[in-house]
Amino acid sequence: MTNTEARDAMEHVSSKFGITPEDYMLPARSEIHMLDVNGKLHPSGQQGVEPGHEYPLPNPKALVDAYEQLVIGRRVNDQNSALVRQGRMAVYPSSHGQEACQVAAALCLDEGDWMFPTYRDSVAVMAKGVAPMEVMAGFQGDWHCGYDPKQYKVSAQATPLTTQLLHAVGVAHAAKLRGEDTVVIAMCGDGATSEGDFHEALNFAAVFNLPVIFFVQNNQYAISVPLSQQSVAPSLAHKAVGYGMAGERVDGNDLVALLAVLGRAVRLAREGNGPLLIEAHTYRMQAHTNADDSTRYREDAEVQSWIAKDPVTRMRTYLDEAGLLPEATVERITASAEAVAKTLRDGMNSEQVPDPADIFAYVYSSPTTQMTEQAALLADELAREEDTK
């Protein structure tokens, strides 16, 4: 049972770009970027310098819509970090600085496409349409996952690193067997690329020629450990070649380039050309979580140097200079960001206590005898507590 499908697809897509499969698989010699740090559009000749790596500029409407999500994403990060500081939320891994990646990961997908996010990707999850308070349920300590993955086509935010990449592969595989054209985006961080499941997921996706976009947000650190201690590959995108898939690296603070690169990747995957690996070069501006102290492992000067590359400022400058941000639009965007922030504050203030009986309710489709006995024990304990009040 010789498998030629993946090889044929690779031949087909590379010949479309007029290059060899090997050249198609290799990322461009430098990362793709379209906006420079000052928000100026690079001349198109410099964006993707090689054949097969040219990316069309997304249309103005798509850019303004994405900018709106970018502003909301920044507001969500800042609001949640504030709630954590005030002790009103247990933990929040902020994606401050990575919002362009977050937004692009959601906007490149169609309605029926799936997303497999991590703990860091709350903004992406919201940008795909999950109600903000349903996302926050986990961080608030109400329940592990507060939303319905099937309804939103967003998997529960994964904590065990890269385990979710394999689930993404399975969802894509099931869809392909049924002849559906679902695309799946599977997200992880730079450190996570060292995990075994990263390797297994990429290999499975390539061998079965599945429409999965592996999207790595390289924010330079895995908690305290810098990328240089995870990998000495020329780039994380180069790892694609080892699996027989195409890799590309992109400026992760450049929303325009992200939309262009991820948009093309999704189109190629949907057409049956197999998986792709996209590495976005970005920076985690805050500590790993509120429990972390990043001054123990990185210099403040390094953090400062990334402020100049801020994804929000860069995008705003570009759109503004292109005349795409009239006053009314700015006001509308600010209002929607404030509305989400208010939802988060109000939600966090309501002292909802989860039902202890739920501990037993969902372990199996119906509780076992043992679980029913234990639930009765707890119910009895609670009833007695209530009596002594």
Partner 1 sequence: MSTTVITSSAANGNVSAATAAAAARTADTGLKPVTFAKALNTAMADAMALDESVLVFGEDVGVLGGVFRITDGLTKRFGNDRCFDTPLAESGIVGMAIGMAMNDMRPVIEMQFDAFAYPAFEQIASHVAKMHNRTKGRMPLPMVIRIPYAGGVGGVEHHCDSSESYYAHTPGLKVFTPATVRDAYLMLREAIDSPDPVVFMEPKKLYWSKDQVDLEALRVSHETSAVPPTEGRAAIARPGTDATLIAYGPSVSTAMAAAEAAALEGRSLEVIDVRTIVPLDDATICESVRKTGRAVVIAEAPGFASVSSEIVARIQERCFHSLAAPVLRVTGFDTPFPAPKLEKYYLPSVDRILDAVDALQWEEGA
Ligand X SMILES: Cc1ncc(C[n+]2csc(CCOP(=O)(O)OP(=O)(O)O)c2C)c(N)n1
Contact status: 150 vs partner 1 (CB under 8 A): yes
Compute how many other C-beta atoms are within 10 angstroms of the C-beta atom of residue 178: 8
Site residue total, partner 1 (CB under 8 A) = 41
Residue 192 interacts with ligand X (CB under 6 A)?
yes
Task: Give yes or no for residue 165 binding partner 1 (CB under 8 A).
Answer: yes
The answer to the question of residue 353 lying near partner 1 (CB under 8 A) is no
- Terminal alpha carbon distance of the chain: 70
Q: How far is the CB of 215 from ligand X (least distance, A)?
A: 12
Q: Which stretch binds partner 1 (CB under 8 A): 73-81, 153-161, 253-261, 266-274?
A: 153-161
Answer for which of 39, 58, 189, 211 binds ligand X (CB under 6 A) is 189
265 binds, among ligand X, partner 1, Mg ion, none (CB under 5 to 8 A by kind): none
If one asks whether residue 242 binds partner 1 (CB under 8 A), the answer comes out as no
Residues 179-208 that bind partner 1 (CB under 8 A): 196-197, 200-201, 203-204, 207
Among Mg ion, partner 1, ligand X, none, the one that 120 touches (CB under a kind-dependent 5 to 8 A) is ligand X
Query: Judged by CB under 5 A, which of 39, 48, 189, 311 binds Mg ion?
Result: 189
**CB of 192 vs Mg ion, minimal distance in Å:** 8
Query: Of these partners, partner 1, ligand X, Mg ion, none, which one is at the site of residue 330 (CB under 5 to 8 Å by kind)?
Result: none
Q: Least distance (Å) from Mg ion to the CB of residue 214?
A: 15
Tell whether residue 120 is a contact of ligand X (CB under 6 A).
yes
By the rule CB under 8 A, 361 interacts with partner 1: yes
Binding flag, residue 303, ligand X (CB under 6 A): no
Query: Closest residue to ligand X, Cβ-based?
Result: 189
Interacting residues with Mg ion between 197 and 256 (CB under 5 A): 219, 222
Quote the tokens at residue 184. Answer: 């799946």
* Among Mg ion, ligand X, partner 1, none, partner that 27 touches (CB below 5 to 8 angstroms by kind): none
Which of partner 1, Mg ion, ligand X, none binds 165 (CB below 5-8 Å, type-dependent)?
A: partner 1
Cα–Cα distance between 291 and 58 in angstroms, integer?
Answer: 39
Q: Which is nearer to partner 1, 88 or 199 (CB)?
A: 199
Closest approach, Cβ 259 to ligand X, in A, equals 21
Residue 216 region by backbone torsions, left for phi larger than 0, else alpha for psi between -120 and 50, else beta: beta
| Interacting residues with ligand X between 216 and 245 (CB under 6 A) | 219, 221-223
C-alpha 182: how far from its chain's center? 17
Question: Smaller CB distance to Mg ion: residue 290 or 334?
Answer: 290
In the complex, the residues that contact ligand X under the rule CB under 6 A are 120, 159-161, 188-192, 219, 221-223, 284, 288
In the complex, the residues that contact Mg ion under the rule CB under 5 A are 189-190, 219, 222
